[in-house]
Structure 1
């Protein structure tokens, strides 16, 4: 690495046209979260700070900048779904992030179909090739290094039900690239997808084949 690397302290700002932190931790899978309030009013919103955190039991999480409808619904009901955002659903996903009133149903706004879940009450996106039904495990307000609370909320959920389009299973193995997942990265409008052209295989030291 160059000895004159660009350096900045985040608390003083980055001095660049776009926050590089959001581009360096990349690409970031999209947390397309569906939920509903206690009266059954549906909500659907994408979160770019999302990932998987545990395999057994499977736990996923997303961070919300501000106490938004998704967080409010999940706190009240203890349930939500994650829906895989794909290249063909990119426009609908983008529409669902519009800042609208809590009474607006983003499923209708984005032209999507709410499908009944199997284990929980929150709906999932029927058009999504993969959906996770989740139950809330932790809801945490994030803090700075000195303990100051920030207006960002981390929502963690255990995956209690999984829906997969059979077309994405080849000899029982899920085909990640075939789903054409989209991910957030780069500049303010930049997204990426993946393909098998970029695939490479590398076994962990001491790992059994297929482990």
Structure 2
């Protein structure tokens, strides 16, 4: 199938992008408003820009109404600081709930029942229990013409790494259960390999569909429901899954 991108509206193009660019790492971004209200939101258009200096990139869309900037972008522009917390399986319900469109005066940490941890070199707090966090200061913001979306480059000025996963200067990622984003769903990274693989392993892994860990059938997609928005925000019923920082 050939799809001319000029024929697509925002929603159709977004579906193709998020279903094709997988898995995506999730930046669980904490910020503060100028009045001191904490904000927390997952951003899956996230990557590293470089290591000297250590720099990350966030691509932030507008809210679902397409006329309002997300609090994350507004706070970053106003204060020049943010924290990227690592998304892992133990906190996945809270992470998903933090994707809801709360009011600017609502503290997302309180709304999703998460404790804060003070940062060292920036004002926004960290997520208590997150195994890794990057304290960041803005290097540059590339704004959209309407000012509702943008790409943020931030320099990592301080790293927080849980002691038990810092091994000889590297991260023991095998102990983390990191979570990534697919289209409108999540995936947990629970295997690793170095090529080449045995043919039997290749055949077994590529001849079956991805396993679902939830109650839904293999052909289910949140994109087909009212819970999904092309803003990346969660719109459906509140998650009943118990969150934990353990």
Query: TM-score scaled to structure 1, two decimals?
Result: 0.82
Select 1:114's aligned residue among 112, 116, 124.
116
CA contact (8 A) 2:73 2:149 kept: no
1:27 and 2:29 equivalent?
no
**1:176, CA displacement in angstroms?**
1.8
Distance in 1 (alpha carbons) for counterparts of 2:193 and 2:6: 37
Partner secondary structure for residue 158 of structure 2: strand
1:200 and 2:203 equivalent?
no
1:180 and 2:173 equivalent?
no
1:161 and 2:132 equivalent?
no
CA contact (8 A) 1:112 1:127 kept: no
Which residue does 1:125 correspond to in 2? 127
> Could you say which structure has the higher strand fraction?
1
**1:121, CA displacement in angstroms?**
1.0
Distance in 2 (alpha carbons) for counterparts of 1:127 and 1:11: 44
Q: Structure 1: 5+ residue runs without aligned partners?
A: 1-5, 143-147, 203-211
Partner secondary structure for residue 111 of structure 1: coil
Identify if the C-alpha distance between structure 1 residues 200 and 192 changes in structure 2 by more than 3 Å, giving closer, same or farther: same
Which residue does 2:139 correspond to in 1? 137
Distance in 2 (alpha carbons) for counterparts of 1:161 and 1:201: 34
**1:171, CA displacement in angstroms?**
3.9
Segment of structure 1 superposing worse, 167-176 or 21-30: 167-176
Select 1:13's aligned residue among 8, 16, 20.
8
**1:104, CA displacement in angstroms?**
0.7
Partner secondary structure for residue 15 of structure 2: coil
* Runs of 4+ deviating beyond 2 Å: 13-16, 148-152, 169-173
**1:150, CA displacement in angstroms?**
7.8
Alpha carbon RMSD of aligned pairs, Å?
A: 2.2
Query: TM-score scaled to structure 2, two decimals?
Result: 0.71
Q: Structure 2: 5+ residue runs without aligned partners?
A: 63-68, 197-246
**1:20, CA displacement in angstroms?**
2.6
Identify if the C-alpha distance between structure 1 residues 89 and 76 changes in structure 2 by more than 3 Å, giving closer, same or farther: same
Partner secondary structure for residue 164 of structure 2: helix
Segment of structure 1 superposing worse, 18-27 or 151-160: 18-27
Partner secondary structure for residue 92 of structure 2: helix
Q: Deviations over 1:79-104 (max 9, x none)?
A: 00000010111100011111111111
CA contact (8 A) 1:141 1:153 kept: yes
